[in-house]
Homo-oligomer: A and B are copies of this chain.
Amino acid sequence: MQPDPPAGAPLTPSIVFGLLQAHQQTAALRAAIQLDVFRAIGQGSGDVSSIARHSKASERGIRILCDFLVINGLLVKEDGHYRHTPASAAFLDPTSPSCLASVAHFLSRPEVLEPYGHLADVVRMGRTTLPGEGTVEPENPVWVEFAQSMAPMMAPLTGPLGAIVLGGRTGPMRVLDIAAGHGLFGIEIAKQNPQAHVTGLDWAPVLRVALDNAKKAGVQDRYDMLPGSAFEVDFGGPYDAVLLTNFLHHFDVDTCVGLLKKVRGSLKPGGIAATLEFVPNDDRVSPPMPAAFAMTMLGTTVAGDAYTFRELADMHKQAGYAEVTCHPVPMSPHTIVKAHT
């Protein structure tokens, strides 16, 4: 997102050049992660030659790369030495527990990048140029990578989602986590409620990642696996709550309504369906991060979208839910939508 120019500022083409060159920002951050530059800056003296030695790279390359990251707000430069910003220390230094470097790996996968190499074709056709159903093609290995890589991005969201789904509820309950991926959302329910039993649904290779995470969290004795497609397997149940996290955005409205109906059929009376989504305002251009997510769905799916709350509420009502509420997650681009049978 570009800041507005000050009122009365002269008209220059800088915004046009900025967008034309924006791809260099992505390339620079990926290169810095691959070359372990953020670890070098965290632990070394921050001068070009020590970073270059650590990264086994040229001094010219490191100097221009690090200057570029300073220009783009990701590092600071003091007396010719590079230092972390609070954001790079927290989210890019591999020694930080909240490091997101693996997210960069996922977002650099060919499946994720390829459509943007010929986006005009995508816009013409109105769908991904990836084969079949794009990233949601059955058994697409991209989701194993997603499960392994995107957990650090999702971890801060699990607490708020668990609190909204449970609302202080204790005692025995059954929870289905659809498209569980890394499994962190269901696992969080099991952690917040020691009597909750969670079933993770996803492709079998993905569920192995979720089960590993359940073991790490010590909840594997209350974690079942239901391998397969959310559109094909019998959900079993009945459940007290069903989670649909980062899933509906891949599909068109009719598919979402059909899935929400199937979910409702697996819920106990008074049960809860909780979706986690990028939810833009009705104008579809704000807030910037959830609104911009539609571009990722254009590039990688056949008919997915960043749905507004109005649209999501309407899907739930078509699927027979009684009450639909909107819960933006503070300090994140995500929103939780909660509905009752």
Contact = CB atoms under 8 A, between A and B. Distances in A.
Contact of A62 (B55, B123, B153): B123
Given A11-B86, A92-B16, A35 B120 contact: yes
Contacts of A91: 13, 16
Interface string A275-303: 00000000111101101101111110001
B27 A294 contact: no
A292 B21 contact: yes
Interface stretch (A2-10, A131-139, A203-211, A260-268): A2-10
Contact of A124 (B16, B30, B56, B90): B56
Interface residues of A, number: 89
7 contacts: A11-B87, A19-B29, A24-B299, A58-B123, A60-B126, A70-B285, A77-B285
Contact of A30 (B1, B74, B119, B296): B119
Oligomer: number of copies: 2
A-side binding surface: helix, strand, loop or mixed?
Answer: helix
B16 A26 contact: no
A86 B98 CA distance: 41
A17 interface: yes
A19 B331 CA distance: 18
Interface of A: 1-4, 10-31, 34-35, 55-65, 67-68, 70-74, 77, 86-87, 90-92, 98, 100, 103-104, 107-108, 113, 116-117, 119-120, 122-127, 153, 283-286, 288-289, 291-292, 294-299, 303, 305, 331-333
